[in-house]
């Protein structure tokens, strides 16, 4: 049998190194209120930026994993990429967003699919952004850019790499990590709040720019 794909060259590999800079984040915040996206997809974008969590982890979020009083999200190992449980400390802004969502849904999922009794499909935002691409002011923007944008933004603020790795649930197999048994919980919580405050600053700057253009 002749392989119909024989001799066909695969497309060039695309490096996954896209992270939004501050100007692009401002543009994103200016566009979001006008974007033809569902409220759940808007919240998904916000949560990816605020938590740096993976798209599938956020879409599969359960209220039983969340302690909104203390601002803690406990991800079981069955729902993480590396199979390790992860405790994520939530900024005040993230808690406020989730409390708002809790008031409008009776489902056990944080981001339920409005059509079926399941969590939001992680691929749904892909199609939603494809349909909204012509109106989006950010070139080549996909939702998966946001985790990298959050971690890059934290680095820009001065967050140490060892804390970033803890925040992102990265596995560090270095000798230093083997001997360093500090939890970094306090630093984790502090830096997520700093990042959320920085995002608020970018959002405010985007709103001012819109008012100036409209004047």
Q: Is residue 76 part of a domain?
A: yes
**Residue 87: its H or E element:** strand 86-89
pTM for the whole structure: 0.86
Q: Is residue 200 part of a domain?
A: yes
Percent of the chain with pLDDT over 70: 89
State how beta strands 72-75 and 86-89 pair: antiparallel
Domains of the chain: total: 1
Tell me the residue range of the domain where 91 lies. 22-214
**pLDDT category of residue 171 using cuts at 50, 70 and 90:** confident
Tens digit of pLDDT for each residue in 29-75?
999 998 999 899 999 999 999 999 999 999 999 999 999 999 999 99
132: nearest Cα among 119, 144, 141: 141
Q: How many CB atoms sit inside 10 A of residue 163's CB?
A: 16
Q: Is residue 2 part of a domain?
A: no
Q: Is residue 3 part of a domain?
A: no
Scan for tokens 């048994």, then name that residue. 181
Q: What single-letter DSSP state applies at residue 132? A: T
Q: Is residue 105 part of a domain?
A: yes
The predicted structure's pLDDT at residue 121: 87
The predicted structure's pLDDT at residue 207: 83
**CATH for 179:** 1.10.443.10
Q: Does residue 13 carry a pLDDT above 80?
A: no
Strand order in the sheet with 66-67: 66-67, 72-75, 86-89
Q: State both tokens at 189.
A: 């919580």
């Amino acid at each position: 049998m002749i392989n119909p794909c024989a001799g066909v060259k695969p497309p060039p590999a695309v490096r996954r190194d896209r992270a939004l800079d501050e100007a692009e984040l401002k543009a994103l915040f200016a566009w979001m209120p006008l974007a033809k996206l569902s409220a759940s997809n808007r919240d998904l974008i916000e949560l990816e930026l605020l938590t740096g969590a993976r798209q599938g982890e956020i879409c599969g979020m359960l209220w039983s994993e969340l302690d909104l009083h203390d601002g803690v999200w406990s991800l079981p190992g069955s729902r993480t990429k590396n199979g390790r449980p992860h405790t994520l400390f939530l900024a005040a802004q993230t808690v406020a967003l989730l409390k708002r969502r809790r008031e409008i849904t009776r489902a056990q999922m944080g981001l339920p699919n409005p059509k079926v009794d399941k969590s939001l499909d992680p691929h749904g935002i892909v199609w939603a952004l494809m349909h909204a691409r012509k109106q989006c002011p950010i070139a080549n923007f996909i939702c998966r850019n946001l985790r990298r944008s959050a971690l890059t933004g934290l680095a820009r603020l001065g967050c140490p790499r060892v804390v970033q790795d803890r925040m992102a649930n990265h596995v560090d197999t270095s000798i230093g990590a083997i001997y360093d048994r500090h939890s970094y919980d306090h630093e984790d919580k502090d830096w997520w709040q700093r990042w959320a405050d920085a995002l608020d600053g970018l959002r405010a700057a985007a709103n001012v720019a819109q008012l100036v253009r409209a004047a």
